[in-house]
């Protein structure tokens, strides 16, 4: 089968490898669509692990069913989680499924930028989602990223009446903008360094879109009648953005670190100004559990979150390198979908 083998952001090669054989309890999926995630282009994160086949935002069709599998059959249209938790460890039992050691070790093979992927038994058991008949494969690639966004906003406490600042208007930021409105936020302000993405932020529901070079804390307070943000969502790890978040959050507010910074990045923490007497919460979120994937699928299915109009590029497998270029440049693209059967 054909795969897009990742060596570096500027070196993704179309190669051949054997189609996976499945065993007891496993499924083989023909990948129909696979989204490129911002984490896919974090080159520093892949150091020492290349070459490999990336791609975890997948949707496809079941083409082989292993012995003992129940609930799935050949021809089923599905999406799947690449990481799944054990559901029994200390962390899972406390509701922190996404820091489970099993979740960090599990994956499907070889990756979504391939014609086929094998789902191991544990993924089949707790990480496969049957798609509604009227949901397209490309819409289904948003289930995983929206699930992560949903978990982040639940963690940060976005709710009815929240004033929310979303720093960064890439794909994650745009999903956060839309979901914050669904969750009842009364004000959503977005920032970015690119006018293209600021315009997108307005299209997808931001009340205001500010260039990141502006005095964001001052401008937000102007918009919000003198108050800071109840929730600040960082979808970029830039040092300046982190400092803007600290300066923009209101008393009793929360800063959500949704995106990682580059390796080794540290920022000064203004302890007295930020914490003392102000009850500020700094929190983070990573990945999503089964319930959050199901919630995300329903939000997409009910058209509560518009994902279809976020797709700017649909590329065949042979052009995956071009897709990585578009995503890593982060300028004239929003969501790039790879179609491995083309």
Q: How far is CA 257 from CA 98, 112, 120, 214, in A?
A: 15, 26, 31, 21
pLDDT, mean over the chain: 96
Q: Tell me the angle at which helices 143-156 and 171-182 cross, rounded to the nearest 10 degrees.
A: 60
Q: What is the pLDDT of residue 36?
A: 97
Q: What is the pLDDT of residue 170?
A: 96
Q: What is the pLDDT of residue 189?
A: 98
Q: What is the pLDDT of residue 265?
A: 86
Instruction: Give the pTM.
Output: 0.97
pLDDT value at 264 more than 90: no
List pLDDT tens digits, range 10-62: 999 999 999 999 999 999 999 999 999 999 999 888 888 899 999 999 999 99
Set out the domains of the chain in order of their start, with CATH numbers: 2-142+307-339 (3.90.180.10), 147-284 (3.40.50.720)
- The token pair at 80 is 């799947």
In this structure, the number of other CB atoms found within 10 A of the CB of residue 249 comes to: 24
Q: What is the pLDDT of residue 141?
A: 98
List pLDDT tens digits, range 187-210: 999 999 999 999 999 999 999 999
pLDDT-derived band of residue 262, with 50, 70 and 90 as boundaries?
Answer: confident
Q: Are 256 and 284 in contact (CB under 8 A)?
A: yes
């Amino acid at each position: 089968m054909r795969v897009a083998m990742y060596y570096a952001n500027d070196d993704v090669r179309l190669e051949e490898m054997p189609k996976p054989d499945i065993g007891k309890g496993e499924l083989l999926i023909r990948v129909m669509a696979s989204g490129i995630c911002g984490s896919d282009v974090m080159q520093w994160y892949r150091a020492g692990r290349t070459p490999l086949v990336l791609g975890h935002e997948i949707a496809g069709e079941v083409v082989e069913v292993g012995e003992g599998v129940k609930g799935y059959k050949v021809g089923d249209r599905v999406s799947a989680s690449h990481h799944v938790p054990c559901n029994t460890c200390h962390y899972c039992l406390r509701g922190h499924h996404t820091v489970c050691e099993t979740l960090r070790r599990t994956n499907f093979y070889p990756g979504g930028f391939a014609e086929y992927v094998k789902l191991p038994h544990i993924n089949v058991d707790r990480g496969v989602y049957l798609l509604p008949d009227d949901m397209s494969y490309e819409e289904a690639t948003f289930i995983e990223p929206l699930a992560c966004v949903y978990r982040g906003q639940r963690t940060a406490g976005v709710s009815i009446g929240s004033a929310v600042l979303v720093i960064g208007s890439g794909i994650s930021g745009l999903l956060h903008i839309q979901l914050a409105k669904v969750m009842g936020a009364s004000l959503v302000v977005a920032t970015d360094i690119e006018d293209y993405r600021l315009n997108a932020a307005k299209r997808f529901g931001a009340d205001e879109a500010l260039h990141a070079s502006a005095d964001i804390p001052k401008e937000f307070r102007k918009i919000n009648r003198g108050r800071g943000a109840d929730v600040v969502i960082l979808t970029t790890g830039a040092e300046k953005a982190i400092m803007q978040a600290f300066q923009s959050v209101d008393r009793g507010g929360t800063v959500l670190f949704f995106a990682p910074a580059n390796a080794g990045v540290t920022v000064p923490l203004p302890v007295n100004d930020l914490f003392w007497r102000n009850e500020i919460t700094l929190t983070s979120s990573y990945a999503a559990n089964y319930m959050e994937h199901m919630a995300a699928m329903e939000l997409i299915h009910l058209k509560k979150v518009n994902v279809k109009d976020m797709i700017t590029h649909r590329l065949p497998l042979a052009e995956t390198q071009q897709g990585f270029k578009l995503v890593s440049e982060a300028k004239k693209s929003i969501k790039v979908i790879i179609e491995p059967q083309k």
